Amino acid sequence: MSPSYTARRVLRNQAIAVRGLRYHVNLWGDAASSTPARPLLLWMHGWMDVGASLQFVVDAMRDERAIAAPDWRGFGRTEAAPLTDAYWFADYLGDLDALLDALSPDRAVDLAGHSMGGNVVMTYAGARPERIRRLINMEGFGLPESKPEQAPERLRQWLDELKTPQRIKPYATLAEVAARLMKNNPRLSSDRATWLAAHWAERRDDGQWHILGDPAHKRVNPSLYRKDEIVEGWKRITAPTLWVEGDETDPQRWWGHRYPRSDFDARLAVVRDVQRVQLAGSGHMLHFDQPQALADAIERFLDRA
């Protein structure tokens, strides 16, 4: 097995009670040291990721500001709600609101989100604009616009999936977990994959390494994605916003003609103050592919007057 990555900044862990769940929060620095001009940076990870995966970006940053990266419910080391059989978007918003109350009750934060986390933070920033000083969305494109006539079939699919046990493949060794990470992310070096694997999976009583994600996340969401409602929220964002994407990302590979790039560009155009950055040599997992370039882009944005 390859030697593990040596982190530059120490990662600490904190447990926070959030809406009846024990939330696991990854911390770098002291949140008490934040100021209105340099507030806490709160990073919300994407689907099937964990907060600890921010480590490589944290280490690349020059500014040792306080940073918190929670694991969403049912991911990483945060609990899933008892008897959870599906996950609801509104629960992520409720969790985020409670996390801000716990981590920065009296001060606006700099809020960042990747992929699913990017979608959540954008919606949250429209509902609670006063809580955000700066907003960063990394590849949180949203979803194709849905139509009302899709609702019955979506519900039928969800009902069928409730009867189907969901499973995430376990691995015999931690080295196999690291190998999967590198297969999914070819630019992820072996030492970083080895370090991340220990945060992304755990060994259980059966002797195998299990990915830290509730298999119930794999079930379809029974609620349709309502583009018009999302866009109305984006219109109400007041924080200066940074949009970051990789130059190798092509959303049409995920959704085809159901979600053309022009549709996303029109959505982003309603945000009143948005800066766009494209990272060279990067796909969807920006924080794995180009951690230094991402760190530089974030710091330039956060430090701008």
- The pTM (predicted TM-score) of the whole model is 0.96
Q: What pLDDT is stored for residue 29 in this prediction?
A: 95
Determine contact, residues 246/139, Cβ cutoff 8 Å: yes
Nearest to 78, CA basis, from 25, 13, 12: 25
Give the whole-angstrom CA distance, residue 218 versus residue 198: 22
Split the chain (305 residues) into runs of 10 and give each run's mean pLDDT.
Answer: 89 96 96 90 97 98 94 96 88 97 96 98 98 98 95 96 94 97 94 96 97 95 94 98 96 88 96 98 96 98 87
